[in-house]
């Protein structure tokens, strides 16, 4: 049997792609393992959004060469955004990388390749297990073609202590069954800082009929949380019927079953009122939550970022949401230190935090990415200034989050239990994805509960039921 391990970096779209591949590999008889140390096939799904993510990736791939020395038949493949634009570099830098498939490449081509690869791997694994002393890899693609000193390598050191894993929708009773479905991929927006349009290509939406089938299938398999994903979910357009995102959302909400639905990420420019209306009308299924990337509160910077909205328009749309869904949880993404950002621009962003009071803010220091328009822009801010702005923003957000979370004490909230943390504690989340620690020894994983909130901190709530 082939053991596979998928390491996923980056966004939820990558998690969904990894989940899809895990499903395929499981269907053809391979088995997902929880650590690189016991894998015959390692697939790394990569993220290029910030430079740090890429650096982490390279050191991770480098470390895998140690496993390849121990099990020379191991196949290591790199897929996703970095694979899209650094294919040659990945091949030339790492001898132990056997295949590279970019995020733009057809997932179907990759799947066909993996089916063949697994067959081949079965043979080479068996051969190696029977003749570990032999020259290995004759005729293999890019594999090590050296004599391997297997005798002194009988035990595999634990190179990767923190095992990561993804949920491939197989039955894992200890964890919430999540379904993450890419409804579209790519992006036509060309925000001036962002590499995504270059790594994932132009927008492509998947057929609504297929998406609905997938949702139904996943619900039958026990999924309680459906997340519809895309770089720009609200520019979704069904290639078969021309239906737009609000219609898709409504159709998903009309499917029978006990589940809830999230989506990410919408672009403020394409946000129409009818989307909020559908969310408000189907509040039993569609989560009372919006992730709404703002990026900056300064109109000058928003324009340089090519975001196509102003701070006022952004606020207006938040107003629509609040009028239709007064208790919605709202989160956002913010970049500080964009080229040309002055103290005044930064303060305009900070002011938006006070005006809107987001429940969470994902904040990032601007990272210069090749190919993007901002790459050429003059970046006069020092790293210290950027770090200072990030720290200041995060400190303000900590205060806001504590204030908002404290207001939930005494309220009854519906939560979905994700996993058991300790013998008497469960981890659950609200519709708005806020962590809730629930005291219970009962097996409630993958169930909805109504809990009373008894305490709050910056990052989580405490609930009893
Ligand atoms: N530098 C910093 N943050 C970035 N993001 C995208 N590109 C960059 C970059 N070059 C952030 C944006 C986006 C989130 C997913 O990542 O805030 O919404
Ligand atoms: Fe990147 Fe902008 Fe597209 Fe989002 S909308 S993926 S930030 S280019």
Which pLDDT score is estimated for 133? 64
Residue 423 sits at φ, ψ, to 5 deg, of: -55, -30
Q: Whose CA is nearest to atom 2 of ligand 1?
A: 366
Ligand nearest to the CA of 309: 2
Mutate to test the pocket of ligand 2, among 10, 190, 196, 309 (most ligand atoms within 8 A of CB): 196
Gyration radius of the chain over CA positions: 24
Range 333-351 average pLDDT: 97
Range 81-88 average pLDDT: 91
Kindly state if the Cβ of 199 falls inside 6 Å of ligand 2.
Answer: no
- Give the distance (Å) from ligand 2 centre to CA of residue 435: 27
pLDDT score of 54 more than 50:
yes
Range with the poorest average pLDDT among 53-57, 239-243, 272-276, 350-354: 53-57
Which pLDDT score is estimated for 127? 81
pLDDT band at 123 (very low <50, low <70, confident <90, very high): confident
Percent of the chain whose pLDDT exceeds 70: 91
Kindly state if the Cβ of 190 falls inside 6 Å of ligand 2.
Answer: yes
- Give the distance (Å) from ligand 1 centre to CA of residue 405: 26
Range 96-107 average pLDDT: 85
Kindly state if the Cβ of 191 falls inside 6 Å of ligand 2.
Answer: yes
Which pLDDT score is estimated for 143? 43
Range 433-454 average pLDDT: 95
Kindly state if the Cβ of 187 falls inside 6 Å of ligand 2.
Answer: yes
Joined tokens for residue 338: 């964009």
Give dist(CA 343, CA 393) in Å, integer: 12
pLDDT score of 8 more than 80:
yes
Which pLDDT score is estimated for 134? 59
pLDDT score of 408 more than 60:
yes
Give dist(CA 383, CA 389) in Å, integer: 10
Whether the CB-CB separation of 41 and 118 falls below 8 Å is answered with yes
Ligand nearest to the CA of 196: 2
* Full set of structural domains in the chain with CATH: 3-153 (3.40.50.12160), 178-406 (3.80.30.20), 412-464 (2.40.50)
- Give the distance (Å) from ligand 1 centre to CA of residue 11: 11
Range 112-141 average pLDDT: 74
**Mean pLDDT for all residues in the chain:** 89
Return the ligand 2 atom nearest residue 295 CA: 7
Give dist(CA 282, CA 304) in Å, integer: 37
Range 141-146 average pLDDT: 41
Give dist(CA 433, CA 219) in Å, integer: 20
Return the ligand 1 atom nearest residue 333 CA: 17
Give dist(CA 213, CA 27) in Å, integer: 18
- Between 166 and 48, whose confidence is greater? 48
Percent of the chain whose pLDDT exceeds 90: 78
Give dist(CA 290, CA 275) in Å, integer: 11
Residue whose token pair is 């053809």 = 28
Pocket of ligand 1 (CB under 6 A): 49-50, 193-194, 293, 295, 333, 335, 364, 366-367, 369
Whether the CB-CB separation of 427 and 437 falls below 8 Å is answered with yes
Which pLDDT score is estimated for 240? 96
Which pLDDT score is estimated for 380? 85
Joined tokens for residue 270: 């394409």
* Residue 453, strand partner residues: 463
Strands 3-8 and 448-456: unpaired
- Between 172 and 328, whose confidence is greater? 328
Give dist(CA 260, CA 257) in Å, integer: 9
Ligand nearest to the CA of 371: 1
Total-model pTM: 0.87
Read off the pLDDT of residues 311-324 as tens digits, 9 standing for 90 and up. 999 999 999 999 99
Which pLDDT score is estimated for 149? 35
Return the ligand 2 atom nearest residue 190 CA: 8
């Amino acid at each position: 049997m082939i053991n596979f391990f998928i390491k996923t970096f980056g966004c939820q779209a990558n998690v969904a792609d990894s989940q899809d591949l895990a499903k395929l590999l499981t269907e053809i008889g391979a088995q997902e393992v929880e650590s690189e140390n016991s894998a015959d096939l390692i697939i790394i799904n990569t993220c290029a959004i910030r430079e740090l993510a890429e650096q982490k990736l390279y050191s991770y791939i480098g470390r895998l060469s140690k496993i390849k020395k121990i099990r020379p038949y191991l196949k290591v493949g790199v897929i996703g955004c970095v694979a899209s634009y650094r294919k040659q570099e990945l091949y030339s830098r790492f001898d132990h990388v056997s295949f590279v498939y970019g995020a733009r490449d057809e997932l179907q081509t990759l799947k066909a390749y993996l089916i063949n690869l697994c067959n081949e791997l079965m043979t080479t694994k068996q051969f190696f297990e029977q003749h570990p002393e032999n020259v290995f890899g004759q005729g293999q693609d890019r594999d090590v073609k050296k004599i391997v000193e297997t005798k002194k390598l009988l035990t595999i050191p634990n190179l990767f202590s923190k095992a990561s894993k993804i949920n491939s929708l197989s039955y894992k009773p200890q964890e919430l069954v999540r379904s993450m479905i890419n409804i579209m991929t790519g992006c036509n927006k060309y925000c001036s800082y962002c590499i995504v349009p270059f790594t994932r290509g132009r927008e492509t939406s998947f057929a609504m009929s297929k998406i609905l089938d997938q949702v139904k299938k996943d619900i039958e398999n026990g999924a309680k949380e459906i997340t519809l994903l895309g770089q720009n979910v609200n520019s979704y357009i069904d290639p078969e019927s021309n239906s737009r995102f609000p219609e898709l959302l409504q159709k998903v909400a009309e499917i029978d079953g006990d589940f809830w639905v999230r989506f990410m990420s919408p672009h403020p420019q394409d946000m129409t009122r009818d989307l909020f209306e559908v969310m408000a009308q189907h509040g039993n299924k569609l989560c009372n939550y919006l992730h709404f990337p703002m990026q900056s509160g300064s109109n000058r910077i928003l324009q340089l970022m090519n975001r196509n909205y102003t701070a006022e328009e952004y606020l207006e749309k938040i107003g629509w949401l609040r009028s239709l869904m007064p208790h919605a949880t709202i989160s956002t993404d913010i970049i500080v230190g964009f080229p040309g950002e002055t103290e005044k621009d930064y303060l305009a962003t900070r002011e938006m935090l006070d005006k809107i009071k987001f429940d969470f803010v994902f904040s990032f220091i601007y990272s210069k990415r090749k190919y993007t328009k901002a790459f050429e822009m003059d970046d006069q801010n020092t790293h210290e200034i950027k770090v200072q702005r990030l720290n200041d923003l995060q400190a303000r957000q900590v205060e806001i989050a504590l204030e908002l979370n404290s207001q939930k004490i005494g309220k009854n909230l519906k939560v979905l239990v994700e996993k058991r943390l300790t013998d008497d504690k469960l981890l659950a989340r609200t519709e708005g994805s806020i962590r809730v620690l629930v005291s219970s020894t009962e097996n409630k994983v993958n169930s909805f509960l109504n809990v009373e909130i008894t305490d709050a901190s910056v990052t989580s709530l405490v609930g009893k039921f």
